[in-house]
């Protein structure tokens, strides 16, 4: 779904179908409040920022006061002329609220032709029972973006990054994307295809990083049907199973007010999947996570100073000799120059090292 221009903060998509009584549901881009004077339709469609500045969802853009984006679908059980009349009524309603309807992003279409809404492709077609039913698919644009992001994360110029960090970044991205689209119609077909592509991308990335042949990569890093290290495994998209329904029931706003309130709270907690600001596995210090794993496997979570045993998350992997004393910083990251310290001992050593550095300067 495109967020749209902020000069036209409200966007509307209209549907029209002869005899259609199917509701199309979707969650709003960013919920900040509800309005509607008890009307069941407008209660679910209209919202405002309650006098608070609303931050945009796009990176590197300043916050715009009293500006927000709202995408919604309105179904019409009638002709195209009826849908056009409903559009004009909604325009007047939005004008009274001080909102502007975006003409270039308003569309009147038949549901059998399909439309994109909130990142999903929605259309009405023949179902398994031979009847016309609404279906929600993963759009081609979303698949293309997934491939572009995985290509970026596993690009040849990123082989200097740690394997554990790369697997962690990929798992975060794959998990968010698959969880968002697992409620669509037959997502396993898409997940299977993307899994096979991701498998060989990861294999070639590992081969280029360590200058290994494919048999050597398989022997060293293959874990079941995927790749991994001693502590992490790459999660394939086809490991996420289809989920039939995102919301099982539609509650009546007049007779089931408590259920409606719980549903609103759920929508407020939800957020749309976005491709912006996805961590692609870059570390401030290259291969730091891989070095930490090797040192912990060698020494265990035992502090080298106080000799106490801690949980692995409570210890630090520290340089025995300061990095600044090495002519080549890569030499400082050798395993022989690494030790395990607890938090208190690490702070004491860092304080002593800073005093030494201040005298050297």
pLDDT tens-digit series, residues 239-284: 999 887 655 567 777 888 888 888 777 766 555 666 666 766 666 6
* Greatest Cα-to-Cα distance within the chain, rounded to the nearest angstrom: 84
DSSP 212: -
Q: In angstroms, how far is the first alpha carbon of the chain from the final one? A: 55
Burial 148-182 (b: 16+ CB within 10 A, else e): ebbeebbeeebbebbbbbbbbbbeebbeebbebbb
pLDDT for position 235: 95
pTM of the full predicted structure?
Answer: 0.63
For 109-151, what is each residue's pLDDT tens digit?
A: 888 888 888 889 999 988 888 888 889 999 999 999 999 999 9
Q: Report the pLDDT value the prediction gives residue 71, as an integer from 0 to 100.
A: 79
Among residues 19, 45, 41, 44, the alpha carbon closest in space to that of 124 is found at 19
pLDDT of residue 322: 85
State the pLDDT at residue 16: 33
- Domains of the chain by range and CATH? 10-137 (no CATH), 138-283 (no CATH), 288-360 (3.40.1800)
Q: Which residues of the chain have pLDDT under 50?
A: 1-66
Please report the pLDDT score of residue 247 as a whole number.
55
Whether 306 contacts 345, CB under 8 Å:
yes
């Amino acid at each position: 779904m495109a967020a749209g221009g902020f000069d036209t903060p409200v966007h509307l998509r209209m549907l029209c179908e002869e005899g259609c009584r199917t509701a199309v549901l979707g969650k709003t881009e960013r919920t900040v409040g509800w309005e509607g004077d008890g009307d069941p339709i407008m209660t679910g469609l209209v919202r405002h920022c309650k006098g608070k500045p609303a931050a945009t969802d796009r990176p590197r853009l300043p916050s715009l006061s009293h500006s927000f984006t709202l995408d919604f679908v309105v179904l019409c059980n009638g002709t195209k002329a009826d849908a056009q009349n409903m559009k004009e009524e909604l325009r007047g309603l939005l004008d009274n609220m001080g909102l502007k309807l975006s003409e270039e992003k308003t569309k009147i279409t038949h549901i059998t032709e399909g439309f994109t809404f909130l990142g999903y492709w929605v259309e009405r077609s023949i179902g398994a029972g031979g009847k016309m039913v609404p279906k929600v698919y993963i759009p081609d644009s979303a698949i293309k973006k997934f491939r572009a992001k995985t290509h970026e994360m596993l690009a040849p110029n990123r082989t200097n990054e740690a394997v554990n960090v790369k697997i962690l970044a990929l798992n975060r991205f794959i998990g968010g994307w698959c969880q968002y689209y697992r409620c669509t119609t037959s997502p396993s077909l898409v997940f299977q295809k993307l899994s096979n592509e991701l498998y060989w991308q990861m294999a070639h990335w590992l081969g280029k990083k360590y200058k290994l042949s494919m048999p050597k990569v398989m022997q060293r890093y293959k874990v079941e049907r995927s790749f991994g290290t001693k502590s992490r495994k790459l999660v394939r998209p086809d490991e996420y199973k289809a989920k039939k329904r995102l919301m099982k029931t539609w509650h009546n706003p007049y007779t089931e007010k408590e259920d409606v309130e719980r549903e609103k709270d759920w929508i407020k907690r939800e957020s749309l999947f976005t491709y912006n600001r996805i961590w692609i596995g870059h570390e401030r210090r290259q291969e730091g996570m891989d070095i930490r794993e090797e040192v912990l496997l060698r020494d265990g979570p035992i502090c080298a100073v106080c000799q106490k045993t801690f949980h692995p998350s409570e210890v630090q992997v520290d340089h025995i000799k300061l990095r600044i004393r090495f002519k080549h910083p890569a030499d400082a990251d050798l395993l022989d120059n690494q030790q395990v310290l607890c938090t208190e001992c690490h702070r004491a050593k860092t304080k002593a090292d800073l005093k030494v550095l201040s005298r050297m300067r």
